[in-house]
Chain A
Amino acid sequence: MREDYEVIIGLEVHAELATKTKIYCSCSTEFGSDPNTHCCPICTGMPGVLPVLNEKVVEYAVKMGLATNCKIARFSKQDRKNYFYPDLPKAYQTSQYDLPLCYEGHVDFKVNGEPKTVGITRIHIEEDAGKLIHDPYTGDTLVDLNRCGVPLIEIVSEPDIRSKDEAIEYMQTLKSILEYLEICDCKMQEGSLRCDVNLSVRKKGETKFGTRTETKNLNSFKAIGRAIEFEIDRQIKELENGGTIYQETRRWDDDKGIGYAMRTKEDAHDYRYFPEPDLAPIVLSDDYVNGIEAALPEMPNVRRERYITELGLPEYDATQITNSKKMAEFFDKAVAKCGNAKLVSNWLMSDVSRKLNESEMEIDNIKFTAEDLGDLITLIDKGTISSAIAKKVFEDMFETGDAPAKIVESKGLVQITDESAIRDLVISVINENEQSVQDFINGKDKAVGFIVGQTMKASKGKANPGIVNKLIMEELNKRKNG
């Protein structure tokens, strides 16, 4: 991005709430079922039906509001947002217009080590729309209404975000909070957490905002980053070439890596909101709000600080582990088992993360348990196996889910710590490598490394490396001085 421009970004984040049933009827919210099997007259918009609000939707939205420092409205109502689209059988979406449940909050997080605060304008409840599927045989569009009426919260940020990195960290922060509250499953690839990016650019020093565009429905961190880069670039080029930015809705094609304007709808924003007459206002007491606040779980930023100050983890590691509640819980269990927080953290950050990425798995799908990882670390701490062998055991654990002690025993991987056995090995290696011994005597210390390597190899990696080093130096010095 050019140095003389700055970018102004606000995000609208949609999170599907993890309730069992829909927002206004008792149909299931389960993802991935046969089309149109989670439907009833209420969620398909039949005339004469009466929607009734799911109490969990209010509770979950208030939780998110409190966790993001919002004020909670003591009086709130729902409104109809009118537009025609085949995925919306009622021809209006029930949402909230002027009196959202939560407002004026903020979240704090770090971007490349620097503290950042992004304001939350509002959080409101609304219903999701159905799914449109293109039928390649007939060219028609097929409508699946299962998702119609799945509860959503929309989290609207202030235009406080100034870079792609800030946008991604902000989204990551919201995702962590939603996971910690257990109010959204946050499966971005299934669309249960997605965002719209409002973006404008302006010359540095300019005080007025430029015209913004809205890129809709981004459902991965990668897509958010790429769509932002693309749109910044496009707007700057347009302005530099004397063009105009139009306020428009845009789509992002992540496969092709391009954004494009949707067919301009002149009346797109004429939603003619009006109060939903079928749904009663929501009035929340102080007792209700205080009760929810008292029961909030530990938030990711608090847990991170605890890991840094109490367990001595580096800030980066603590952030990575606490970003995901499941990862943090896995960490806690492993530490409880072995008592070595640093080593558990190292394993999670390196080998565990690498294997999870390679196999595109989440930590809760892993075959072995957190306690197994703790046991593996205890085996290293006690000197039963070396770190090098531990990596091999870990590969086995990941494939089979077997307990580390069982793998070590069945494969005969127990570390050799018996000095006389190792000394025999060292002497035979030294005798077979006269050249290296002469090199050492002539002052080439590098020769030691070769002999260490050969000895480890001869022991099939099982010899204790500390003892190997010590004995080799003893034996070599004997030869040198002998």
Chain B
Amino acid sequence: MKITHEEVKHIAKLAKLSLSEEEVEKYAKDLGGIAEFVEKLNEVDVTGVNPTAHAVDKYNVFRADELKDSYNREAILKNAPSKEAGCISVPKVVE
């Protein structure tokens, strides 16, 4: 299956990645190969088989609405490269 350069650029944009023209070329080829591989599934006859979203036959995995301790804030913010006033600090978000 062919993946066009436009499709690669669209996916890159959604993933917030900037790609060089060479990379676009390379990913078009790689992604095309992956899509082709997955396409093999289309060869299987699935007449009479119900579609499913999960491979494991399990449902209704619930927990009770019971409060447990949260992590302390230092631990939560430990991996943040920049923090301020108990928050993660990120470049200004414009709406």
The chain A residues found within 8 Å of chain B, CB to CB, are 19-21, 26-28, 34-41, 44, 52-56, 58, 77, 82, 84-86, 132-135, 138-145, 251, 262-263, 267, 270, 272, 275, 277, 279-283
Task: State which of A145, A263, A281, A283 has its C-beta within 8 Å of the C-beta of B95.
Answer: A263
Shortest Cβ distance from B80 into chain A, in angstroms?
A: 9
Docked Cα-Cα span, A139 to B87, in Å, equals 14
18 additional A-B residue pairs with CB within 8 Å, beyond A37-B72, A138-B89? A20-B67, A21-B65, A34-B86, A36-B77, A37-B73, A39-B76, A55-B62, A77-B54, A141-B89, A142-B90, A144-B87, A145-B76, A270-B10, A272-B14, A280-B56, A280-B61, A281-B53, A281-B60
Task: State which of B13, B65, B76 has its C-beta within 8 Å of the C-beta of A36.
Answer: B76
Chain B residues with CB below 8 A from A138, complex form: 84, 89
Q: Are the C-beta atoms of B53 and A77 separated by less than 8 Å?
A: yes
Q: Are the C-beta atoms of A142 and B62 separated by less than 8 Å?
A: no
Does B37 sit within 8 A of A, measured CB to CB?
Answer: no
A-B contacts, 13 of them at CB < 8 A, read A26-B68, A34-B86, A36-B73, A40-B70, A40-B71, A54-B65, A135-B84, A141-B90, A143-B88, A144-B87, A263-B95, A270-B10, A277-B54
Q: Which residue of B lies closest to A131 (CB)?
A: B87
Does B40 sit within 8 A of A, measured CB to CB?
Answer: no
Q: Which residue of A lies closest to B76 (CB)?
A: A39
Q: With A143-B90, A275-B54, A280-B54 known to touch, is A52 a contact of B63 (CB < 8 Å)?
A: yes
Shortest Cβ distance from A412 into chain B, in angstroms?
A: 53
In the A-B complex, the 5 residue pairs with the smallest Cβ-Cβ separation, listed nearest first, are A275-B53, A26-B68, A142-B87, A55-B62, A56-B65
Contact residues, B41-72 vs A (CB, 8 A): 53-54, 56, 58-68, 70-72
Q: With A140-B91, A280-B60, A282-B59 known to touch, is A39 a contact of B65 (CB < 8 Å)?
A: no
Docked Cα-Cα span, A394 to B91, in Å, equals 55
The chain B residues found within 8 Å of chain A, CB to CB, are 10, 13-14, 16, 53-54, 56, 58-68, 70-73, 76-77, 82, 84-95
Task: State which of A36, A54, A84, A277 has its C-beta within 8 Å of the C-beta of B63.
Answer: A54
Q: With A141-B93, A267-B10 known to touch, is A35 a contact of B63 (CB < 8 Å)?
A: no
Q: Which residue of B lies closest to A58 (CB)?
A: B62
Chain A residues with CB below 8 A from B65, complex form: 19-21, 54-56
Q: Are the C-beta atoms of B95 and A262 separated by less than 8 Å?
A: yes
Q: How many A-B residue pairs have CB under 8 A?
A: 130
Task: State which of A39, A58, A140, A275 has its C-beta within 8 Å of the C-beta of B90.
Answer: A140
Shortest Cβ distance from B21 into chain A, in angstroms?
A: 21
Docked Cα-Cα span, A142 to B13, in Å, equals 24
Task: State which of B59, B64, B90 has its C-beta within 8 Å of the C-beta of A86.
Answer: B90
Chain A residues with CB below 8 A from B63, complex form: 26, 52-55
Q: Are the C-beta atoms of B66 and A39 separated by less than 8 Å?
A: no
Task: State which of A41, A82, A140, A281 has its C-beta within 8 Å of the C-beta of B84.
Answer: A140
Docked Cα-Cα span, A251 to B16, in Å, equals 24
Q: Are the C-beta atoms of B61 and A142 separated by less than 8 Å?
A: no
Q: Are the C-beta atoms of B59 and A281 separated by less than 8 Å?
A: yes
Shortest Cβ distance from B31 into chain A, in angstroms?
A: 14
Q: Which residue of A lies closest to B73 (CB)?
A: A36
Shortest Cβ distance from B54 into chain A, in angstroms?
A: 6
Shortest Cβ distance from A433 into chain B, in angstroms?
A: 72
Q: With A141-B89, A142-B85 known to touch, is A20 a contact of B94 (CB < 8 Å)?
A: no
Shortest Cβ distance from A390 into chain B, in angstroms?
A: 46
Q: With A140-B84, A281-B53 known to touch, is A270 a contact of B61 (CB < 8 Å)?
A: no
Q: With A39-B76, A267-B14, A281-B54 known to touch, is A133 a contact of B60 (CB < 8 Å)?
A: no
Q: Which residue of B lies closest to A52 (CB)?
A: B63
Q: Are the C-beta atoms of A267 and B54 separated by less than 8 Å?
A: no
Shortest Cβ distance from A120 into chain B, in angstroms?
A: 25
Q: Which residue of A lies closest to B13 (CB)?
A: A267
Q: Are the C-beta atoms of B93 and A270 separated by less than 8 Å?
A: no
Q: Are the C-beta atoms of B71 and A141 separated by less than 8 Å?
A: no
Chain B residues with CB below 8 A from A35, complex form: 73, 85-87
Chain B residues with CB below 8 A from A38, complex form: 70
Chain B residues with CB below 8 A from A267, complex form: 10, 13-14
Chain B residues with CB below 8 A from A34, complex form: 73, 86
Docked Cα-Cα span, A282 to B91, in Å, equals 39
Shortest Cβ distance from A90 into chain B, in angstroms?
A: 14
Q: Are the C-beta atoms of A140 and B54 separated by less than 8 Å?
A: no
Most buried by A among B56, B66, B89: B89
Most buried by A among B13, B16, B59, B70: B70
Q: Are the C-beta atoms of A55 and B64 separated by less than 8 Å?
A: yes
Docked Cα-Cα span, A283 to B62, in Å, equals 11
Task: State which of A52, A132, A144 has its C-beta within 8 Å of the C-beta of B62.
Answer: A52
Chain B residues with CB below 8 A from A85, complex form: 93
Q: Which residue of B lies closest to A26 (CB)?
A: B68
Chain B residues with CB below 8 A from A270, complex form: 10, 14
